[in-house]
Each structure stands twice: as structure tokens, then as C-alpha cells.
Structure 1
Amino acid sequence: MNFFDLVVDYKGSKDNDLGPFTENVLVRTVKNPLFHIEEEVYLTPLQQSLNEFATNLGKSIGGSKTDTLKKNQSKLVVCQNLEKLAVELCRQANGDREKLATTGFVLSKVPEKRKAPSAPTGFKVAIGEKSGELAFTVDACEVTLMYYFFCTPVPVEENDIQKWKWISSPKRKATMVGLTRGTEYECTCAYQAPDGTFVYGQKIRVIAN
């Protein structure tokens, strides 16, 4: 499975380009016979975040600093939902770039083969600065394409870690928000190998503050 057959990071997209691009992705993935996409998990959140971004984008034009901040925050949510969908499409396509070309996403350049990373070390989870936040850290890895951090409520009901709540980062540190205060979570991390596969680390349980 190659998670980088598609470009997954669209945070650098121009504001006026992100909306039409996302609309095209939605049109081309809804009921796409080549994939089985759970609408409530991937498509509905993407559409809702796109609607909110479009509203905030309009208000930010000639608006206040608060309007611009809301626009930037909603843009980030759209990009996170695009990344989540792109990763799932790549998982299902399993390297079939012809299938992925039907999704509206941008095909990435084929990465050169590099050494796969070893299992992550130094994984730690700390209570975040704000309620509902968990702060993740892991040792740096020279050959990882991206750092991924995952968590799910205890008792664990979903064994497939890739369906847990997750966040990715180009750096070895990240903070996950929107968790439920007082809930115990099982957490893990992963380095992403050059072929797109995940190399998982140890699991840690922690109670969100």
C-alpha cells in the first residue's frame, strides 16, 4: 500500500483554489465504483468543512482579524479532511494509480526506494495545555516520510489502528485536540516508510484532562 501515490498535503493551497479543488474531489469520489468510501466518515465531514470554509472565506474579505482567523482555522479543517480521504483512497487502491487518477486528487511523483525505518522509539504522551488535548512526541527518524499519531477511547472497539483518530506531522511532535475530558485513550505512533507503509510503535494509555 502506497500512501504517497496521491499528494495528501494541501495546506499550501491558495484560498480561492481550495474550494473548487475540494468540490471536484467530492464529485469524483461520491459513488465512485472503484472505491468503497464510508460517507459519514470521509465525505460528509469534508463537505461540511468545505461549506464552513466558504462561508468564512466570504466574511474574511474586508473583514476583521477575527474573521481571517476563523477562515484560516476552517481551511485547516478542510485540508485535514482531504488528507484523511486521500490516505484512505491510497489504502484501497494499493498502488493502482489508474484508479487514483479518477478521484480528483493530484497524483504524486513515484518516490525513490529508501531504507525502511525501524520501529519508533521514545514515544511519549502528555496532557496538553488545554482541555481535551494530548501532546505526542517520538524520537526523530531520518528516513520517515511523515510522523503519525493515533488514539482511540478505552475499551478499544476498533482493532484497525488506521481507523482511530489520528494526526500527522512532518515533525516528531504534534498535539491532538477535540478529545473528551476524563476519557482514557489508547495511543500509538508510526513512522511512514518510503513505500507508504506504517511502522508502529508501542501503545500507551492516558486519561485526557
Structure 2
Amino acid sequence: IWKYYSDFENEFIEDTYQKKNEEEVQLGDYVIDFTQMLQIRKDDRTKQRPIRREEVDVSRYLRGERFCSAGKPMKAFTITQYGGSKSTYGWYERNQVLCYPATRYSEILQQAANAHRDKMRLDTSNGSFLERLNAGLNALSDALTARKQNLHGLDQKELTIYRGCKLTEELIEEYTQNVGKLIQWLAFTSTTKDRKVAEVYGNTLFIINL
């Protein structure tokens, strides 16, 4: 059974592949060897997996990895006492001077710009690619969410987004036991505004009202 790389990994691999003069690309704990078309573990080169490249029509193709969990996580979410993420609440605690008595939007936006620059630096550095990407996205999210919540008094349209997932019976039971509680997903989570797209993937549909 062939398993797709994530969107981020796939783009990173493809960009290097298109350079033509590169024979391999570093991807976290692995090396992607274009000559042998193998994924090789750095600390044990006997651990190898074949890879293949497929060309697809991106206007018609939606990778299931974006909406499905590729493996069984140790924990899908955590219970939170905050109306947003704990990290965003922490941002407020550290930056009250930017919010009260008057909101200093220019300085908040500067923090967001700095976080975005850090995110780009993490994207292109060596090490665990997706872990670093999540760290960058979380940093950017804190500043942007803070700005959004400071604009809460402005007219806003309600938005509903969806996420389709394949959950085990244990995870479904875990969600069921926590109905009515505030939860926080533990990683960057992709969603779609198209319910039909989300319903294609997995056995569970999350409906999220913003």
C-alpha cells in the first residue's frame, strides 16, 4: 500500500526534485534518494522504503492526507479552560500593555510579521520538518489570533468549516466522553469550507462554527 507524503513534505521533495542536479533531499530523519527512488533512514541505512512519483491534476485532486489522520495518535486532543488556545492566552498575559487601555495594532502586527519570518526560517532548516513547521505555525497563530480577538467588536460573518477524520473506536469514545467541554487539538489542523469534501474522508465529521 502506497502512502502519500504530507502536503508540506511533498512540496519540499518536489522542489528539490525539479532542480535536476540534486540526487537526494534531507527530510527529517530520512534521506530521499532520487537515483534509487528510496527513502532511507539516516541512522540506519538498511531501513529503506521504495518511493514513486506521480503527476496529478491539482485542480481536480485533493490529497486525503490533508484530512485524514495517517496514524494512531497517542492523544487526539486536550481539555482546555481557555476560550482559545493556551498559547494565545499566554500571549495576552505577556502582552497586556499592547491591548489595554488602547490596542496597539501596529506592534501586534509587527509581532505577527516576526513570527511569520521565524516560521519561514524553521521551514527551511534541517531536523524534524513537520515538528518545526508546527512550532512556526503556532507562533504565527498566537499573534494573529490576538489581533483577531481585539477586532471582535467589528461586524463579522459566521463561518462553518469541516474536517473529516478516520478515528478508532477508542478515540471516538474519548471525544464522546468530553462532549460539552472545550478541547484543543494538539497540532495544526487542516479544514475545509466544503462539507462534501470532508465527508469523503474517514468515518467522523467535525463541524466547527467560527
Common topology (TM > 0.5): no
**Which is greater in Rg?**
2
Normalising by structure 1, we get a TM-score of 0.29
Normalising by structure 2, we get a TM-score of 0.28
